[in-house]
Chain A
Amino acid sequence: MTVTRRTFMKVSAAGIAASSVGALGFTGAGDALAASVRPFKLERATETRSTCPYCSVSCGVLVYTMGDKSKNAKAEVVHIEGDPDNPVNRGTLCPRGAASLDFVHSPLRVKYPMHRKPGSNKFERVTWDFALDRIATLLKEDRDKNFIAKNRDGVTVNRWETTGIFATSAQTNEAGYLTYKIMRGLGMVPIETQARI
């Protein structure tokens, strides 16, 4: 559900009418305000409902993006703050959540697939095709070589123990489910996540 800024303002306006516009002290201010007050920067930004990525309070957040989702406007996250509707956080955020815009735009975001050759001291940029194909090749080589169809007692065990995955606890349930299905489908036993540690 993407609530456009316009819809949101309508809702807000109704809310204010129901309480008191005057309470905020700018009665009749009109355009004159603009001269000294910084313009409200989210005026027409697009508002999207999301969930904070950090701790398991999973606060509701409002993500504001530039542009109205029209084809020629690149959506860019410009602000994040708490979702007042979320019954748990009721619009509040902690120091991590309140700074999460800096997470989205961190200079340490990885932007391209990278590859480090054995013995090298650096990453080199590669294509997605190269990266995914290389991963599939490495996984298949190891699986085909080390797959245990039967254990020493001759019991069918169909397991693969020489490659493992540490799965992220920051991914969606849907991504986690596919990760599980694929890795267990390969017979992988070493599957772990942050929950353990």
Chain B
Amino acid sequence: MATLQSLDIRRRSASTEAPPQIRKGGVEVAKLIDVSKCIGCKACQTACLTWNDLREPVGVTDGVYDNPRDLTPTSWTVMKFAEVETGPDLEWLIRKDGCMHCDDPGCLKACPAPGAIVQYTNGIVDFVSENCIGCGYCVKGCPFNVPRISKLDRKAYKCTLCSDRVAVGQAPACAKACPTQAIYFGSKEDMKVHAEGRIADLKSRGYKNAGLYDPPGVGGTHVMYVLHHADKPMLYSGLPENPRISPLVGVWKGVMKPLSLAAIAFAGAFGFLHYITKGPNEVAESDERKAAELTGGRGA
């Protein structure tokens, strides 16, 4: 694979070689999702399906507006609708769910297949399907429950942040489509500045806990939210309050990987997958530190 020579790649799954680092000047990107501006129209969903040539099957209505009900191998983003009564008035909190493109990506760290998950210098975490062995460790490694394994080809899928568009200087399809600028795309720095203005506006309208969701537990994310109730992210269809990478990812990376990569990759993946996906999703800070040590900090 030529990817090891790519100066754009910051990290690569299941690889210990340090990527070349001589070229500089890249800036980290971010997609800012302003929940207070989101009208839940799902333009991002259809734009995503159209751009990525995805064919989600037609489902059924089962009593909610969420369609599809959750992320699938062919729906990389979905709107989650929550009817919330925090005060006398109802709030309908609508959140666009999908890959957060963590700066410290649990999926990548958990992945045993060399080069199946990469992180570019701009922060995008991308799945390289050709290299994916369908083991599902990325599912377990993700603190946001995002990757989905396709029954069709047993490969993992999730939002690419439209790396193909970003590569040629275009915004992701969802960001471009969003009618109300609830999705905004640019450098992470610019997005943070923009978010400050939005938070000030929300505070002026009485949302005293308005704030930015850029969780430090995963090193910050390249998909951030502006929330009216940043003190209670769980209100937004269970957005984790303090997401972290599972300690099992650390165990795997530190101990088991060298011993059993081949076996797991080709034979035992599904038994182990079952075990690993039933484990806990929340971890203590000490575990997290240990995991970081075991995985060599930010390196792969």
Name A's B-contacting residues (CB within 8 A): 12, 16, 20-29, 32-33, 35-41, 79-82, 89, 91-99, 101-102
CA distance A82 to B1 in the complex (A): 36
Are A25 and B29 closer than 8 Å at their CB atoms? yes
> Does B177 make an interface contact (CB < 8 A)?
yes
B52 smallest CB distance to A (angstroms): 8
B176: which of A12, A22, A27, A81 is its contact (CB, 8 Å)?
Answer: A81
Question: Would A25 and B28 be within 8 Å (CB), given that A93-B179, A99-B49 are in contact?
Answer: yes
Are A36 and B118 closer than 8 Å at their CB atoms? yes
> Does B214 make an interface contact (CB < 8 A)?
no
A92: which of B28, B29, B128, B178 is its contact (CB, 8 Å)?
Answer: B178
Q: With a CB–CB cut-off of 8 A, which chain B residues contact A36?
A: 3, 6, 9, 115, 118, 126, 128, 163
CA distance A41 to B1 in the complex (A): 22
Q: In this complex, what residue of A is CB-closest to B163?
A: A37
B25: which of A28, A38, A89, A93 is its contact (CB, 8 Å)?
Answer: A28
A40 smallest CB distance to B (angstroms): 5
Are A35 and B120 closer than 8 Å at their CB atoms? no
Are A93 and B177 closer than 8 Å at their CB atoms? yes
> Does B88 make an interface contact (CB < 8 A)?
no
Indicate the member of A26, A29, A39 with the most B CB atoms within 10 Å: A26
CA distance A98 to B187 in the complex (A): 25
Q: With a CB–CB cut-off of 8 A, which chain A residues contact B27?
A: 20, 22-25
Residues 158-173 of B, flagged 1 when their CB comes within 8 A of A and 0 if not, give: 0010011111111001
Are B177 and A81 closer than 8 Å at their CB atoms? yes
Specify the main secondary structure of chain A where it touches its partner: loop
Total residues of chain B contacting the partner, CB 8 A = 51
In B257-293, the 8 Å CB interface with A consists of none
Q: In this complex, what residue of A is CB-closest to B50?
A: A101
> Does B2 make an interface contact (CB < 8 A)?
yes
In B1-56, the 8 Å CB interface with A consists of 1-3, 5-9, 23-29, 41-47, 49-51
Q: With a CB–CB cut-off of 8 A, which chain B residues contact A89?
A: 179
8 pairs, A vs B, C-beta closer than 8 Å:
A22-B27, A26-B122, A35-B2, A81-B177, A93-B177, A94-B43, A98-B44, A102-B50
Q: With a CB–CB cut-off of 8 A, which chain B residues contact A12?
A: 169
CA distance A92 to B166 in the complex (A): 17
Q: In this complex, what residue of B is CB-closest to A31?
A: B2
CA distance A20 to B9 in the complex (A): 20
Indicate the member of B45, B120, B126 with the most A CB atoms within 10 Å: B120
> Does B186 make an interface contact (CB < 8 A)?
yes
Q: In this complex, what residue of A is CB-closest to B120?
A: A25
Are B41 and A21 closer than 8 Å at their CB atoms? no
Q: With a CB–CB cut-off of 8 A, which chain A residues contact B164?
A: 37-41
Since A95-B43, A98-B44, A99-B47 are in contact, a sample of 6 more A-B pairs with Cβ atoms closer than 8 Å, ordered by chain A residue number, is: A26-B167, A27-B25, A29-B8, A32-B7, A35-B2, A92-B177
> Does B242 make an interface contact (CB < 8 A)?
no
A21: which of B1, B47, B169 is its contact (CB, 8 Å)?
Answer: B169
> Does B121 make an interface contact (CB < 8 A)?
yes
CA distance A20 to B122 in the complex (A): 14
B20 smallest CB distance to A (angstroms): 10
B167: which of A23, A37, A91 is its contact (CB, 8 Å)?
Answer: A37
> Does B123 make an interface contact (CB < 8 A)?
yes
B6: which of A35, A40, A79, A92 is its contact (CB, 8 Å)?
Answer: A35
Are B121 and A25 closer than 8 Å at their CB atoms? yes
Residues 73-109 of B, flagged 1 when their CB comes within 8 A of A and 0 if not, give: 0000000000000000000000000000000000000
